[in-house]
Amino acid sequence: MILHNRMGREQLIARINSENFNRKTVSFYRYIRISEPQFFRDELYLALDAISCSGRIYVAHEGINAQMSVPEHHVDNFLKFLDSRTELKHMPLKWAVEDDGKSFLKLKIKVRKKIVADGLEDEVFDVTNVGKHLSPVEFHELSEREDVIVVDMRNNYESEVGHFKNAIRPDVFTFRDEVEMVVEHLQEQKDKKILLYCTGGVRCEKASAWMRHHGFTDVNQLHGGVIAYAQTIKQLGLKSNFIGKNFVFDERMGERITSDVIGKCHTCGAPCDDHINCAWNACHQLFIQCDACQAQMNNCCSDECRHKLEMHPQNNFPAMRSLGKSACSV
């Protein structure tokens, strides 16, 4: 029995465009001991593929981290399956804020050493000694105070299109660099109230434990991340303290939270917050580009890549890695 996708990208796009039903995007994670990750992975694939789910899921001994697209008519079956497994029962789910139903083209489940590539040695600190979980409303109210420090625990390409007002946003590309820079930058403020946030909450679990390990006494984290915050603030009719887009690791590349466009086209500098990957797949760089520059540059990040694409289109093999979609980080 084949437990992985065997269709090419063009076939997958054609398949999803031909679907006569709607889909809902959802993300979830849980740190929980999984004794046999490969066996768990295979059972998960069989169950989710049977109800036409797509998405990207990482399974490890330490837990599960998932971002998925679920057919609306199978949502109940999906929820019943989660509750049927001890490891997944009563799972906190974050449903997408803005959803076109095409967030994922296929189902991909991988066994990994960790559910988030954090680069940290878990043996040297207590990963369960996490910060205080704040509800979206609690985070909203505290983030408006002048005596707190709000820290964006996402990468620079995420925060450049959306972030909380007055948040510290380290200019780094990896989570490992992020946690180390934050600890170093805030060394003299270990007794201050620290508010951490990320996309869905999973990165803050490790980040808060790492900060507590380094002597920070009042570490707090947004439970459910920006996704949960945006949903709650919208439901309550409050003015969002998160402005712009929330970057997401799927085909959408972003959910609009407010109308603010805080990013800039990397080609011309015009206001823009639309991420794309360079069309020359040997590069495939993730960057921001406006519609006018996309047309002029043939969706490429530089003249060099554009010339290569135009001169050698037959050599534009499918990309092996997409910087914007390679990590299931929430």
Would you name the residues annotated as active-site residues? 198
Burial group, residue 326, by CB count within 10 angstroms (0-12, 13-18, 19+)? middle
Look at the alpha carbons of 263, 266, 268, 272 in this order and tell me if their dihedral is positive or negative.
Answer: negative
CA distance 188 to 117: 28
CA distance 56 to 8: 16
Look at the alpha carbons of 320, 323, 329, 330 in this order and tell me if their dihedral is positive or negative.
Answer: negative
Backbone φ and ψ for 103, nearest 5 degrees, come out as -70, -30
CA distance 330 to 188: 29
Nearest CA to 227 out of 78, 90, 53, 98 is that of: 98
Are 215 and 123 a contacting pair, CB within 8 Å? no
